[in-house]
Amino acid sequence: MSGSDEPLLEVSGLTKHFAQNDSLLRRLRPDQSVQTVQAVDGVDLRIRDGETVGLVGESGCGKSTFGRLVLRLLDPTAGSISYRGEAVDEFDAAALREYRSHAQMIFQDPFGSLNPRYTVRETLVEPMEVHDIGASSAERVQQSTELLERVRLGAEYLDRYPHELSGGQRQRVAIARALAVEPEFVVADEPTSALDVSVQVEILDLLGELQEEMDLTLLFITHDLSVIRHVSDRIAVMYLGNLVEIGETESVFTNPSHPYTQALLSSIPNPDPSATPDRIPLAGDVPTPIDPPSGCQFHPRCPKIVPPEEWDHDQRIWRELFRLRTRLANGEIEPDAVRSTLVDGDERADDDAVVDALYRNQVEERVGNATDRAVPDSAATVAREALAELVVGNDDDAVARLEDAGFVTVCETEEPDLTTTEHGTDVRCHLHSEATRDHPDRDELRERNREKIL
Amino acid sequence: MTRTTAARTDEADREEWELIARDDPLLSVRDLRTHFHTDEGELRAVDGVSFEIQQGEVLGLVGESGSGKSVTSLSLMKLIRSPGEIVDGEILYDGEDVRGMTGERLRRLRGNEMAMTFQEPSSALNPVFDVGWQIGEPLRVHEDLKKGASRERAVELMRQVGIPSPEARVDDYPYQFSGGMQQRAMIAMALACEPNLLIADEPTTALDVTIEAAILELIRDLTDSLGMATLLVTHDMGVVAELCDRVAVMYAGRIVEYGDVETVFEDPRHPYTQGLLGCIPDPTASTQSLDPIGGEPPDPREFPAGCHFAERCPASVEDCERTDPRLRTVGDDHYSACIWEDP
């Protein structure tokens, strides 16, 4: 399916920040600040002629924003988009109109994306009129009929309104509308997620057939990993506005290299009840893109976070203590609540007892859930000291105590580079990072970390 | 009520539910019919559905949109409002007729003995009350707990469903919770009075896949540890395979296949189930040909006289348009409503 090596679309450093709650008043008031949502944050991607690239990620990761940026439905904050060597980000209105006859979009919701007052005929003829396709209106209607046949609907649908069509039929009309201008490149944003499974297959098949017939290049955006495996040549996995892994679909599915991709793939419900799921659970929720985590943005949830060289024990123990540090820093642990529980239970409730209780449910229990090895004494002492600082109200000292004792990681301080793995996929993770690889002693460390993790 | 399908008789209804009956069901639904009286005619959303749930078991009610699965689950708690009406059938909760319940008895059933979680947690939770208040509400209503006590129980429940730092979050409002946490809060609310039956309507549909996995595991754990029964309403066969012990496949207001989940998935007998399973992309397969079913479900105002699936069925013969197939045994704990035993 892949064409020449020259990319059809090349995106580099593409960034889109949205201002939240922006208003003049807010900008003028010194006590208020305008927060920015970093929806897309420096994405590089090349799409070759004739291929289907699947962009996958969870809700809020910025995948739809990315789709809109490449079509210039949104203007990027930074970065460049080049289509057949032309800078899309610098297009003026006329060039943009011309661009839109090459690049089109199919939206998620076929109920919202068709004009309810237009018949199918009007819906299909309008883009042709805008882009001067067809010499007369009779010719355009003729072309519309052909388009309808192409999407497996007949000429009898020309005079229907969207409300007379089922979900699957509407999505076919939406596809026909995108194809009306004979585009080379189509962005399909969740084209099947509003549809039932039996209808979904029909639409996926249709897109596949059309791609071959019309030689289309597709950017297929979805949250559904089973669908993406079915349709894509390559996939790109997005997390918090950044691509974390890019590669041939089969390589990514058989050898996922980024811990996020691994967790994502392990979470797909398998339609085989006899299969035993081997889940990689992720801690917490997706952080907000308003204030994304430093370094590798996945590090607060990452099960494979890299401990520093000096740590000689189980990575899982280190990970739980690191997370304790994060919770302390976020003020998530409330000693007062624990104290009042102890008081209610008629138990000893002095500072030592509170530290004990906190240690039990914040460290011991969590480590116990992760591994059957015990917390090494030195680490246990540090954790208790930190909790003791918290109990007497020195929150910052509590965090500092853990930081000083080595509960810091490269994952939070440095942003990993994109590295090519042995499976030919590109991945953004310190476990595979060049920087880690260059240092000879780091190399050994990496092996050791791997052993600890596996 | 006059039946438009002459082929379905009371005699056949009885045979069907006697066939699938098991010992000691917690809930048994017999030939349930819920219709909506609309201007354009009688809409037969649920058109003769029979199934049973036992203590400690998860039954999956699976079907595509419009198949009647949500209306079925609402009917179980008598939550159907005009123009809808349960026109026929029996719902037996622990041997007691739910359709006949009114007033105080019905109130005790809802929330106390049976509890339900809804599809969109963001719209099912009340935005103007904090989460702790809402989780504690069933306890104040059903168990007469005072404000403070209900809040304490709410914290415990929040811990049970895996909401981190519940002491700190009990005073939060729903908007401060993420989708997964809202779903957990709703499950906590449903579990407050330790119901015997949990009805979970599309509990993971609005959630991301990593969060979905955690919620499914939670429901499984709670069903096992509390010994309750769960009716899981979903459109996702993957979720059914993951979580359920038994499954009922719904199509156009009827159950077309019913039985043990492994048996049904391994050896589906009804052409609709076969079609449905045949068009799910398998995340573990590198190459796979998916076959669409083709066609559209019938209009619930004008169901055909015979099999509802006949029009789209690859195995249909002339007879299918006349006979109205009922569930029949096709294997050990495996029932299919098709004139063919093994099409």
Residue B163 maps to which CATH number?
A: 3.40.50.300
In this predicted structure, the answer to whether residue A439 has a pLDDT above a threshold of 60 is no
Q: What is the pLDDT of residue A454?
A: 47
* pLDDT score of B262: 94
Pick from A166, A199, A274: CB nearest B262: A274
Rounded Cα distance, B234 and B205, in Å: 8
Chain B residues near residue A282 by CB distance under 8 angstroms? 210
A329 vs A236, higher pLDDT: A236
pTM of the model: 0.82
Q: Which residues pair with A53 in a beta bridge?
A: A219, A234
Please give, rounded to a whole number of angstroms, the shortest distance from the CA of B280 to a CA of chain A: 7
The pLDDT value recorded for residue A434 is 56
A201 → chain B, closest CA residue: B292
Terminal Cα-to-Cα distance of chain B (whole angstroms): 34
- Rounded Cα distance between A66 and A51, Å, is 18
Instruction: Identify whether B165 is part of a domain.
Output: yes
DSSP at A362:
I
DSSP letter, residue A361: I
Task: Report the C-alpha gap between B306 and B319 in whole angstroms.
Answer: 8
Angstrom distance (rounded) from CA A376 to CA A384: 12
| Chain B residues lying within 8 Å of A334, measured CB to CB | 165, 167-168
By DSSP bridging, strand B197-201 and strand B229-234 are parallel
Is the confidence at residue A13, as pLDDT, over 70?
yes
Place of tokens 């179980």: B76
- Cβ distance of A201 and B180 shorter than 8 Å: no
Of A202, A223, A275, the CB nearest to B292: A202
Closest residue by Cα to residue B78 from B65, B61, B96, B63:
B96
Q: Half-sphere exposure of B92 toward its Cβ, with a 13 Å CA cutoff?
A: 16
Structural domain including B173 reads 102-113+120-195
Q: Which residues pair with B257 in a beta bridge?
A: B249, B336
Contacts of B164 in chain A (CB under 8 A): 284, 332
Cis ω for the linkage preceding A30 (within 30 of 0): no
Measured in angstroms, the CA of B109 and the nearest CA of chain A are apart by 32
Instruction: Decide: helix, strand or coil at residue A119.
Output: coil
Whether residues B65 and A226 touch (CB distance < 8 A) is answered with no
From the list A223, A250, A337, which residue is nearest B167 (CB)?
Answer: A337
* Interface-testing mutation among A203, A222, A248, A272, with chain B (most B C-beta atoms within 10 A): A272
Quote the minimal CA–CA distance from B145 to chain A in Å: 17
- The shortest CB-CB distance from A198 to any of B238, B244, B275 is to B275
Domain membership of residue B304 (yes or no) is no
Give the number of other Cβ atoms within 10 Å of residue B61's Cβ: 27
Nearest to residue A315, comparing CAs of A423, A235, A430, A407?
A: A407
Is the pLDDT at A2 greater than 50, yes or no?
no
- Exposure b/e, A190-213, CB count within 10 A at least 16 = b: bbbebbbbbbbbbbbbbbeebbee
Cα(B200)–Cα(B214) distance, rounded to whole angstroms?
15
- Residue B183 resides in a domain: yes
Contacts of A277 in chain B (CB under 8 A): 213, 242
Nearest-Cα distance to chain B for A273, in Å, is 4
CA A429 to chain centre: 15
State how many domains chain B has: 1
Collapse the DSSP code of B96 into the 3-class scheme (helix H, G, I; strand E, B; otherwise coil) and give the result: strand
| Collapsed DSSP state (helix, strand, coil) of residue A398 | helix
Residue-wise DSSP of B234-252: ES-HHHHHHH-SEEEEEET
With tokens 């839109």, the residue in question is A100
Q: Which residue of B has its CA nearest to A194?
A: B65
Tell if the CB–CB gap between A253 and B277 is shorter than 8 Å. no
**Nearest residue in B to A60, CA atom:** B208
Could A268 and B168 be called an inter-chain contact, meaning their C-beta atoms sit closer than 8 Å?
no
- CA dist A77 → A80, A187, A253, B60 (Å): 10, 20, 33, 47
CA separation (Å) from A298 to A41, A261, A363, A442, B8? 14, 11, 22, 21, 58
Q: Do B209 and A225 touch (CB under 8 A)?
A: yes
Comparing A14-18, A207-211, B13-17, B137-141, which segment has the lowest mean pLDDT?
B13-17
Mean per-residue pLDDT over chain A, rounded: 86
Residue at B292 is within a domain: no
pLDDT of residue B129: 94
Chain B nearest-CA distance from A169, in A, is 10
What is the reported pLDDT for B308? 92
ipTM of the complex: 0.74
HSE at residue B281, side-chain half, CA atoms within 13 A, is: 23
Rounded to an integer, the average pLDDT of A13-28 is: 80
Contact state of A230 with B216 under an 8 Å Cβ cutoff: no
Confidence band, pLDDT 50/70/90 cuts, at residue B333: very high
Nearest by CB to A226, which of B164, B244, B282? Answer: B282
Domain membership flag for residue B56:
no
* Residue A308: count of CB within 10 angstroms of its CB: 13
In a domain, B169, yes or no: yes
DSSP B315-328: T--GGGGT-----E
> Is B266 an 8 Å CB contact of chain A?
yes
Peptide bond into B304 cis (omega under 30): no
Q: Which residues pair with B246 in a beta bridge?
A: B59, B260
Kindly report the number of other CB atoms within 10 A of residue B195's CB atom.
22
Number of CB atoms found within 10 A of residue A214's CB:
13
Q: Is residue B53 part of a domain?
A: no
Which residue in the set A166, A268, A271 is minimally distant from B237, CB to CB? A271
What does the CA dihedral A349, A354, A358, A360 come to, rounded to 10 degrees? -70
Among A59, A201, A262, most B C-beta atoms within 10 A, so best to mutate, is A201
Q: Does B282 touch chain A (CB under 8 A)?
A: yes
DSSP string, B287-299: S-------S-PPP
C-beta separation of A214 from A49 below 8 A: no
Cα within 13 Å of Cα(A290), Cβ side: 7
pLDDT digits (tens, 9 = 90+) for A223-247: 888 888 888 999 999 999 999 999 9
| HSE-CB of A427 using CA atoms within 13 angstroms | 22
In this complex, is the C-beta atom of B208 within 8 Å of any C-beta atom belonging to chain A? yes
To 10 degrees, the CA torsion angle through B232, B235, B239, B241?
90
CB contact under 8 A, A250 and B168: no
B167 has pLDDT over 90 = no
The mean-pLDDT minimum among A110-114, B59-63, B147-151, B285-289 falls in B285-289
pLDDT mean over B14-31: 88
Residue A443 confidence (pLDDT)? 53
Which tens digit of pLDDT belongs to each residue from A141-172? 999 999 999 888 888 899 999 988 888 899 99
Mean pLDDT, range B132-159, rounded to an integer: 91
Checking phi first, is residue B249 left (phi over 0); if not, alpha (psi -120 to 50) or beta?
A: beta
Instruction: Check whether B4 has a pLDDT greater than 70.
Output: no
* Residue B183: C-alpha distances to residues A20, B118, B122, B208 (Å): 26, 9, 8, 12
Q: Can you tell me whether residue B33 is helix, strand or coil?
A: strand
Lowest-confidence segment of A27-31, A165-169, A211-215, B12-16 by average pLDDT: A27-31
Does B144 fall in a domain? yes
A439 vs B208, which has greater pLDDT?
A: B208
Q: pLDDT, tens digit, for every residue of B237-271?
A: 989 998 999 999 999 999 999 999 999 999 999 99
Q: Find which of A17-26, A277-286, A397-406, B54-63 is predicted with most confidence, using mean pLDDT.
A: B54-63
Residues of B within 8 A of A326 (CB-CB) are: none
Average pLDDT for residues A27-47, to the nearest whole number? Answer: 83
pLDDT in tens, B56-83: 999 999 998 889 999 999 999 999 998 9
What whole-number distance in Å separates Cα of residue A313 and Cα of residue A307?
Answer: 10
